[in-house]
Amino acid sequence: MLVLVLLLSASSTFAQQLLNTPPRDGVVDKADRIEKKPIPYPWIRNSDYVWEKRIWRVIDLREKMNQPMYYPETPHNNWKSFMTVLMDAMKEGSITAYDASSPTDEFIVPLSYKEIMSKVEKTDSTQMQRDTPPYDFYDTVIVKKFRPTDVKRFRVKEDWFFDKQRSMMQVRIIGICPITEVFDPKGDFRGYSQLFWIYFPEARPVLAKSEVFNRFNGAARMTYDDLFWKRMFSSYIYKEDNVYDRRIAEYTTGIDAMLESERIKTDLSNFEQNLWEY
């Protein structure tokens, strides 16, 4: 009799726990957060740092390969877009944003989250007519809220270098800059605007804990740091370091600019291949 009472009590407790626990959204319970640390960069001596070239790229989120960085538009289940991850980290003070107005793309003037929002959110005033008497005009303030989905491009500053100790050509991302489109009052496209620069090594601990959609295997949780470490993005070069300090668009356009970007990529590959003799 006592055993029966204990069994009934245990089953009742288990049933109560099931009622108080929300349904499992999946086959197994997943951890709420990804507790990962970024893979540390290998230490390089100055004497082994024998060659370097700085490259600037553009990551267009409209390309199919880059769409995991753009979605989801609404965060859910600890899954956020890349721009949302950056904005949340800046809001809580985990990473620092730097002013992008400098033509040299250096990390000089830090910006607060409030300063960034005052830059990206626009306030305008216009005249409206009342719907009820008296039908006079009155001024109203229109605030255009910033949305992470407004960012469809990122600029990436990276250094390609040769490590003599390891006999390897390597690349390190130095900074990332979100880009927004600029339109005139008529709605015509006028160009692109740099919002701010992020020092990538500082942002890596945050990116290593931020999940990105893995199109190949949903059970293998991948982070944004993994995405950049494995170079799982599509991009094109818009500038290389040169004596004139100019971008490709400043001396060629159209199909010639695309060919110039491919030439720079090819030169990087050929340089590594020419280091060896077979």
Tally Cβ neighbours within 10 Å of residue 115.
14
- In this structure, is residue 73 part of a structural domain? yes
The count of structural domains within the chain is: 1
Any domain includes 28: no
Query: In Å, how far from its chain's centre is CA 243?
Result: 30
Q: Is position 198 within any domain?
A: yes
Q: Digits of tens for pLDDT over the chain (278 positions)? A: 655 545 556 555 544 554 566 676 677 766 656 778 899 999 999 999 999 999 999 999 999 999 999 999 998 878 899 999 999 999 999 999 999 988 888 999 999 999 999 888 776 555 555 666 666 655 565 667 889 999 999 999 999 999 999 888 999 999 999 999 888 777 788 889 999 999 999 999 999 999 999 888 888 889 999 999 999 999 999 999 999 999 999 999 999 999 999 999 999 999 888 887 65
Which tens digits make up the pLDDT trace of 233-251? Answer: 999 999 999 999 999 999 9
In a domain, 21, yes or no: no
Tell me the whole-structure pTM to 2 decimals: 0.83
Name the residue range of residue 73's domain.
43-274
**Structural domain includes residue 14:** no
Q: How far apart are the first and last CA of the chain?
A: 85
Query: Which of helix, strand or coil describes residue 265?
Result: helix
- Can you list the positions of beta strands (E) in the chain? 49-60, 97-98, 110-111, 122-129, 137-144, 151-163, 168-183, 189-194, 197-199, 211-212, 222-223, 236-240
- Angle value at C-alpha 267, between 154 and 260, nearest 5 degrees: 60
38 within domain boundaries = no
Beta partners for residue 211, in sequence order: 79, 223
Residue 132 lies in a domain: yes
Q: What is the pLDDT of residue 218?
A: 81
* Distances 173 to 21, 146, 228 between C-alpha atoms, Å: 44, 27, 8
Q: Give the strand pairing for 97-98 and 110-111.
A: antiparallel
In this structure, is residue 240 part of a structural domain? Answer: yes
